[in-house]
Amino acid sequence: MKRIMFVCKKNSARSQMAEGFAKTLGKGKIDVTSSGLEASEVRPEAIATMKEIGIDITDQHSKPLSDFQAEDFDVVISLCGCGVNLPTEWVVREVFADWQLDDPAEQPEIFPRVRDEIKERVVQLIESLTAEFTPVG
C-alpha cells in the first residue's frame, strides 16, 4: 500500500481537502495524511465545501511536517508551490509533484473550484498508484 503525504503551507485548506478525498476515494488502497510547513487550523470553509459533496473532514487537524519522517512516505504532493521550500529528503521520494493550486483562503469564493480540481487530481493519483501491472502480449 502506497503512503501519501499532502503538504501545503499551513495545512488548513488544500492539503486537508486532498487528504479527505484520498481517504474516501482510496480507502483500502492507500495510506494518507497531510501536513504543513507550519501547523494552523483547518479552515471552516474547507470543512463546509467538502461537506457539500458528502465528505466530512471535521475530525482532521492541522499537523506540522516536522512531526513526520520523509522515509515513511512513498508519495509527496505539494498543493501550493511550497515544494521549493521542502527539505531535500521530501522531494526525492518515489513520486513527488507540486500541483500549485490557487489559494482559496485568499478568495473564499473559489473554494468549490479548487475542491473540484483537487478531487480530479486525487482521482488520477490514486488510479496511477493502484493500477495493476498488465503484461503485454
Taking the model in full, what pTM does it have? 0.93
At 32 the pLDDT is 98
Domains of the chain: 2-130 (3.40.50.2300)
Question: How many Cα neighbours within 13 Å face the side chain of 91?
Answer: 10
At 131 the pLDDT is 81
At 83 the pLDDT is 86
Average pLDDT across each block of 10 residues of the chain; the chain has 137 residues. List them in order.
Answer: 96 98 96 96 97 98 97 97 91 95 93 98 95 57
Catalytic residue of the set 80, 118, 122, 125:
80
Catalytic residue of the set 8, 82, 114, 126:
8
At 45 the pLDDT is 97
At 82 the pLDDT is 86
Facing residues of 33 across strands?
Answer: 5
Question: Among residues 37, 64, 47, which one has the least CA distance to residue 13?
Answer: 47
Question: Among residues 69, 9, 67, which one has the least CA distance to residue 43?
Answer: 9
| The one-letter amino acid at 91 | V
Facing residues of 77 across strands?
Answer: 6, 97
Specify whether 82 is catalytic: no
